[in-house]
Homo-oligomer: A and B are copies of this chain.
């Protein structure tokens, strides 16, 4: 908040002494995002004063910038009636997202205070699953009939602009509500006033179905550099639009999910929130760790089965961490490539095979180089050339297998529609530990007579 210290103090001062003119002057110069930060930093009393001072429209802009938890606090402080008025001023997509998190009683109270049209719109939006195009879209867009002229369109735009989420794309529909075309404000401005809209509109509109996954929608907007994309229902009717700012939020959320996944803390982005309490953070991680602990006992069991081998040559134990560690490391490297490939949609059918072949090649190369390296180090350290050879051979096989396991296991899990969060870094590491130790002790056992 360092940036706003002066402003912040000035706001508190003018809230306290009720100088509304000065307050208005200061507040109007601040972006809603920063207004929201300031609102949350205030004491409850000052927050109430500020909320009373601001219009419903201003409060709506501010509330959109807050997290769900912060929004709920605001609701409790303002009361349901004021809140309902503020909600009515919000873009419908944000309003629906917020309402979806309310309990049934409050939700009905809020909706009952709205007029029937607004209530129906919001209830419909809330029907769509949150992670689909329907859940992401807004219903505030501008529609034009195709027989308008450019001049008529601009006049209409002047009326509608204050309520629309974006005015930069205008949508043209037929009498059935089906999407016929799109016109950018850029093209409308350039057109001569008497041109008919249907002459300048773009007819091959890229649209998305209402049940499309939100990540697909976000990638499409990114790919085509759109500012917004229209959403259509099964009857090809225009039902909403999704804007680029919401697409950016989806992509950021998805990146968080991938990181959480790779870190082995599940796909819920909430796990990355540093504001979550220790006990809640631990609760989310413990099931994972307990599972990995149990799987880890397989590694222990493998070593136990080679107890005789180990008893004969305890030095074999010295290489357990490095063999298991390297198996985990190479597997994690391959996994990172698969996770990001899935996120960016690089994997069409034949690309998967190409990747597997590529990673097999990578495994061979890194197995050979690291195998030679470890042979030399082990032989010098233990002053035993045969031991060096055995360790090198074991690592060579291990790295080839581990690289492939790190590539193929997550791909299989995704194909089986098992939550890809399962294919986490720690999971792959644990599996590769087991593979690596099995290979290691099998090789060591085979060469035991030369080792002693």
Contacts and interface: CB of A to CB of B under 8 A. Distances in A.
A288 B318 CA distance: 22
Interface string A289-329: 11011101101110110010011001101111110111011
Interface stretch (A11-19, A44-52, A365-373): A365-373
B325 A292 contact: yes
Contacts of A247: 248
Interface string A316-359: 01111110111011101101110111011010000100110011
A322 B369 CA distance: 27
> Mostly helix, strand, loop or mixed at chain A's interface?
helix
Interface string A99-112: 00000000000000
A250 to B, nearest CB: 11
Contacts of A278: 358-362, 364-365
B190 A158 contact: yes
Contact of A324 (B279, B325, B354): B325
A149 to B, nearest CB: 16
A385 to B, nearest CB: 18
A50 to B, nearest CB: 19
For the side of the interface on A, what is the size category?
35 or more
A252 interface: yes
A321 B318 contact: no
Contacts of A186: 161, 167-168
Interface string A417-435: 0000000011001100100
A212 interface: no
Contacts of A221: 248
A161 to B, nearest CB: 5
A185 interface: yes
B265 A336 contact: yes
Q: Chain copies in the assembly?
A: 2
A189 B157 contact: yes
A215 to B, nearest CB: 12
Given A190-B161, A317-B303, A354-B274, A259 B297 contact: no
A289 B330 contact: yes
A426 B318 contact: no
A254 to B, nearest CB: 8
A300 B321 contact: yes
Contacts of A189: 154, 157-158, 161, 167, 185
A154 B257 CA distance: 44
Given A292-B329, A333-B426, A259 B262 contact: yes
Given A251-B255, A274-B346, 14 more contacts: A227-B227, A251-B252, A252-B344, A272-B341, A276-B358, A288-B329, A293-B377, A321-B433, A324-B324, A325-B433, A328-B328, A329-B426, A332-B429, A425-B425
20 contacts: A252-B344, A259-B339, A259-B340, A264-B333, A265-B336, A272-B336, A272-B340, A276-B358, A278-B361, A279-B361, A288-B333, A300-B318, A300-B319, A300-B320, A300-B321, A304-B318, A324-B324, A325-B328, A328-B426, A328-B429
